[in-house]
Structure 1
């Protein structure tokens, strides 16, 4: 049975202007080293510079693998929950989102799952496929929520560190499998936990 493997990662550490920092480049390179032994077919990235640069940095360790932008991976709010399903501390975050913006976010989130959170292409026949997605925290959370068939509002509260690795697999006739989430074992201690609020670290 063919399996579609997705290796999903948030971009590397970025500055206030959305540009990859030196730390972010190191993180991306280390993620590339981790993925180098896998038979990667393609690297897809958000069109935003911090994700595009992360993808090209990690792809230096994947010679010959094509790297391309995927508009579905761009940073956006995938679902604006109703007030009743929004935790009170987060309600202010959604102030200013009108119905049109919320609907646009939903369409883009649906496009993301339709393109990537799907069974292997029948044209691949019995061959497994392996794809890297370099995207943003909200999109990682949305793909995980989708794989677990959780309520749409449960993308909230799923946080990903910079270049932390999440692995999802898809097989015909079976529910998706969340193999790992937010794994940072390829990063030394000083490069872990960027992209998170400042709190106690394990």
Structure 2
């Protein structure tokens, strides 16, 4: 059985012995086997996938012509000034809302309207957004009935927002999931049809702020579970085929932040804590 007796701190300036459980620059001594097991950051660790700084094709370095060999000091200075002009200063926040529970018996989109519970869930979500009192800048929704109805209820809580409808945000099959699941097997043609459309929506919504944007923005986007799950994987540069491993409750909030540097972070995923437990649904 493997046991660890002591943690020896080896960082520069630290020469103490700490008890097991202390986090620091350390190496662990495997008592039973007499081996030294190094903490991950003390090895020649290389990330399996490196972050692509130019994922949105808006990295200033890619927007300004590179210097030629033998460029003058003036040319170098001019390029540096141009780079500064291309650097965003504002942060973009996207609050992705899944629609409320809807009528699963409907065959056509018009018949897949919100249930009574779904409307209550949308109201809870609208009130939560209102109480957060963030400086929201825009409301965007899919054009499908359940998303439009959810957005309409949220809009009543945030009536000052302009409301745009984006057909590319409609539900669909973004990419074949890995691992595949037995209970959901759409035709392969559906992935070829839906995938490019949903990717188009991602590229339209997900990018660092424009240079002209001076204040942080907060956009409320009402759409669908498959779309949001795919967006999460794409935004974090995770394998996009992992999207089906994520579950989102109805009327839940997923908060994505895009920094001026292009770094992306997720502040919430499928947050539904504002909905009473007995009224939370996922299917």
Consecutive aligned runs of 4 or more in structure 1 exceeding 4 Å deviation: none
Relative distance call for 1:91 and 1:40 in structure 2 (3 A) is same
What is the alpha-carbon distance in structure 1 between the residues aligned to residue 221 and residue 96 of structure 2? 5
Count of paired positions: 187
Residue among 188, 192, 205 paired with 1:116: 205
Q: Once the 2 structures are TM-superposed, how far is the Cα of residue 95 of structure 1 from its aligned partner?
A: 5.2
Is 1:97 the counterpart of 2:191? The answer is no
TM-score where L is the length of structure 1: 0.86
Q: Is the 8 A contact 2:207 2:262 kept in 1?
A: no
Higher helix share: 1
**Residue 145 of structure 1: SS of its match in structure 2?**
helix
Residue among 218, 222, 232 paired with 1:144: 232
TM-score where L is the length of structure 2: 0.63
Gaps in structure 2 of 5+ consecutive residues: 1-88, 107-111
Q: Greater CA radius of gyration, 1 or 2?
A: 2
Higher relative contact order (CA closer than 8 Å, sequence separation 6+): 1
Q: Give the corresponding residue for 2:94.
A: 6
Q: What root-mean-square deviation, in Å, do the aligned CA atoms of Structure 1 and Structure 2 show?
A: 1.6
What is the alpha-carbon distance in structure 1 between the residues aligned to residue 186 and residue 119 of structure 2? 34
Q: Give the corresponding residue for 2:137.
A: 41
Q: Is the 8 A contact 1:11 1:163 kept in 2?
A: yes
What is the alpha-carbon distance in structure 1 between the residues aligned to residue 179 and residue 269 of structure 2? 23
Q: Give the corresponding residue for 1:200.
A: none
**Residue 204 of structure 2: SS of its match in structure 1?**
helix
